[in-house]
C-alpha cells in the first residue's frame, strides 16, 4: 500500500514562500493522480492542486498564479511550491494519491475520491 508523509510546513510572513514535500513509499506513484488539499480549523477541506500522469495540472482559483504543484518520479515525491503567501493560506496541508487517473476529478469534491492520504503539515502565515 502507499504511505505518504508531508514535510516543509512552518510559520512564514505574508508575502513569503514555502515548499512542501510529500514523500511516497510502498509503491511508485509516478502514474497516480496526485493532489494537495488544505483544511483550516472549523472549515471544510478544500482542494488546492492536482497533477496527472501526463504532467497536466489544475489549481483552485484562490492559489492560481501563486502555487505550483510538481513531482519528482526518481524520488517518488510530490511538491507544492507556495509563493506570495497570504493570511488566508493558513491551514493544515495534506497530500493525496489515487491509483486511478485524474480524469474526471475536480478539486471541489474535497478529496473524497482519493484513496491515500498523508498526515498533513501545518502552514501558518502571519
- Cα separation, 47 vs 105, in Å, equals 11
Q: Is 53 exposed, middle or buried (0-12, 13-18, 19+ CB in 10 A)?
A: middle
Please write the tens of the pLDDT for every residue from 30-72.
999 999 999 999 999 999 999 999 999 999 999 999 999 999 9
CA angle 118, 122, 123 (to 5 degrees): 125
pLDDT at 49: 97
pLDDT tens digits for range 75-125: 999 999 999 999 999 999 999 999 998 888 888 778 888 999 999 999 999
Cβ-based neighbours of 42, under 8 Å, separated by 6 or more: none
DSSP 106: -
**SS3 of 10, please?**
strand
Q: What is the pLDDT of residues 4-39, one digit of tens each?
A: 999 999 999 999 999 999 999 999 999 999 999 999
Amino acid at each position: 500500500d502507499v504511505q505518504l508523509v508531508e514535510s516543509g510546513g512552518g510559520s512564514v510572513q505574508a508575502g513569503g514562500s514555502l515548499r512542501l514535500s510529500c514523500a511516497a513509499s510502498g509503491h511508485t506513484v509516478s502514474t497516480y493522480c496526485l493532489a494537495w488539499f488544505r483544511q483550516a480549523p472549523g472549515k471544510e477541506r478544500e482542494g488546492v492542486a492536482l497533477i496527472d500522469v501526463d504532467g497536466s495540472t489544475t489549481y483552485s482559483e484562490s492559489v492560481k498564479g501563486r502555487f505550483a504543484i510538481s513531482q519528482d518520479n526518481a524520488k517518488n515525491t510530490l511538491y507544492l511550491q507556495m509563493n506570495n503567501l497570504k493570511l488566508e493560506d493558513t491551514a493544515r496541508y495534506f497530500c493525496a494519491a489515487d491509483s486511478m487517473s485524474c480524469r474526471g476529478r475536480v478539486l471541489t469534491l474535497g478529496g473524497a475520491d482519493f484513496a491515500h492520504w498523508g498526515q498533513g503539515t501545518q502552514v501558518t502565515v502571519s
